[in-house]
Chains A and B, each alone.
Chain A
């Protein structure tokens, strides 16, 4: 126990740097993953069969293979197909974004599908254009289903970004590896990192609960 306290007081800035790295990585992944995810969701809901098919394959492959494999794949593959120098961080972030876009596109699709079909029928029946049906009637209601799920995706990413430590991309698990390799106090460093992860996710998931309750009240 005293070793843990000592370790924390000596290396707190390394751990905190890691925490910032984890939060940053998760935020970038979810934000960019959402933009890409909207595109994939639109493809998925499109009436064009080939577009539909491509989106289906994209989602199935990304959800059907391990994320660690995908990280390796982008880490090795991306520099081979792109003609300029890429940092490891760039390759790993790209992989995380692509991975989460598959999950997020499903969140968006499900959020839209959960809006009662009568709403779009009523909106169409009063003569709204298809664009206005979507932007004025469906999306404002779907967003209430989508936001809490997106926040949960962020929490999931906080944990999944730990895999980036395999490639020494700065985040919490990488901090653990740094501290462990200089002090040889593996269990103690791991405990500190574990506590940070746990507190972070505990707080975040409580916030999501509050958000869900607020959104429900405004129904």
Chain B
């Protein structure tokens, strides 16, 4: 539990003249579950997207284990296979069946034989209760089912870290729970997780650490007990007073 898997140092991201991240220094240990909360526009999503290079950092460094992922020589596609991401809007591939969504990357990029990839995909589908949907197209799935599919599609690459970018924000209320349960199970299984969320109860329950991001910095970073019961930073206090 002590080895560091992700470390950022002075991470800055600008969009034009807008400074979204103003120097993020943090570390995440293997197996840790970190929730990122805070007001919109605070840089939470951008921070997550920098970690798998969907955004290119303007300045600063990010290490994944000993690998400098801001290096120009990095094979980005190869790196992304080690760090899964789940999006607010699911982004499942509509032109492929559920099974094809899951096996696409393992077959193409890891050269896993088709049969083995499908077997592994079915095992994953079983974990999230979607076995009977394997040959359906995503248009037949509910939002919650699409998001569960998006999660196992990422897991099929056997990533070491999972990033969740507001995974339940686009869901109807009655579907939030089924998705949160899957993430909780994943957390219990020892996966390293960073999750941007507005579900405070969930954050409190599953996290080892809660980070509050506001105005492009980490305002407070502590155990969920301290963040939710006795926050010290005025920005945390203000934010929590609005959402709780």
- Of B2-10, B104-112, B234-242, the one touching chain A: B104-112
A126 an interface residue at 8 Å Cβ cutoff?
yes
Q: Which residue of B lies closest to A126 (CB)?
A: B105
Q: Return chain A residues, CB-CB under 8 Å to B77.
A: 124, 127-130
State whether B109 touches A125 (Cβ < 8 A): no
Within 8 A of A (CB), among B47-102: 52, 54, 77-82, 84-85, 87, 89, 91-95
Q: Is there an interface contact between A125 and B94, defined as CB atoms closer than 8 Å?
A: no
B85 touches A125 (CB 8 A): yes
B78-A127 in contact (CB<8A)? yes
Are A121 and B153 within 8 A (Cβ)?
A: no
Query: A85 on the interface (CB 8 Å rule)?
Result: no
Kindly state whether residue B157 has any CB partner on chain A within 8 Å.
yes
Name the B residues within 8 Å of A124 (CB-CB): 54, 77, 80
Contacting pair A127 B105 (CB below 8 A): yes
B154 lies within 8 A of A125 (CB): yes
Partner of A140, one of B92, B95, B109: B95
- B104 with A125: CB separation less than 8 A: no
Instruction: Verify A122–B150 contact, CB threshold 8 A.
Output: yes
Interface of A is mostly: helix
Interface flag for A205 (CB, 8 Å): no
A123 CA to B153 CA, complexed, in Å: 10
In the assembled complex, the Cα of A219 lies from the Cα of B137 at a distance in Å of: 9
CB of A125 within 8 A of CB of B108, answer no
How far apart sit A125 and B92, CA to CA, in the bound complex (Å)?
12
Q: Is the CB of B105 within 8 A of A219?
A: no
Min Cβ gap B95→A in Å is 5
Give chain A's interface residue range (CB within 8 Å of chain B): 10 to 19
Contact A128 B105 (CB under 8 A): yes
User: B residues within 8 A CB of A121?
Assistant: 54, 87, 91
Chain B residues lying within 8 Å of A118, measured Cβ to Cβ, are 87, 89, 91
Within the complex, the shortest CB–CB distance from A163 to chain B, in Å, comes to 39
Chain A residues positioned under 8 Å from B54 (CB to CB) = 121, 124-125
Chain B, Cβ-Cβ closest to A122: B91
B139 within 8 A of A: yes
Q: CB distance B52 to A128 under 8 Å? A: no
Q: Shortest CB–CB separation between residue A104 and chain B, in angstroms?
A: 23
Given A136-B104, A141-B95, A126 and B89 touching (CB < 8 A)? no
Q: Does A116 contact B (CB under 8 A)?
A: yes
Which chain A positions have C-beta within 8 A of B104?
A: 126, 128, 136
**What chain B residues lie within 8 Å of A46 (beta carbons)?**
none
Q: What's the nearest-Cβ distance from chain B to residue A129, in Å? A: 5
Residues of B within 8 A of A219 (CB): 94, 139
Instruction: Kindly state whether residue A63 has any CB partner on chain B within 8 Å.
Output: no
**A132 at interface by CB-CB < 8 Å:** yes
- Which B residues are in CB contact (< 8 Å) with A136? 104, 108
Q: Is A62 an interface residue (CB 8 A)?
A: no
Contacting pair B80 A126 (CB below 8 A): yes
The residue in chain A whose Cβ has the minimal distance to the Cβ of B85 is A125
Q: Which residue of A lies closest to B155 (CB)?
A: A126
The CA of A215 and the CA of B8, in the complex, are separated in Å by: 46
Given A125-B52, A126-B84; A132-B108 close (CB under 8 Å): yes
Q: Are A116 and B91 neighbours in the complex by a CB distance under 8 Å? A: yes
The residues of A with any CB-CB pair to B shorter than 8 Å are 116, 118-119, 121-130, 132, 136-137, 140-141, 219
A-B contact pairs, 8 of them (CB 8 A): A118-B89, A121-B87, A124-B54, A124-B80, A126-B154, A126-B157, A127-B81, A128-B105
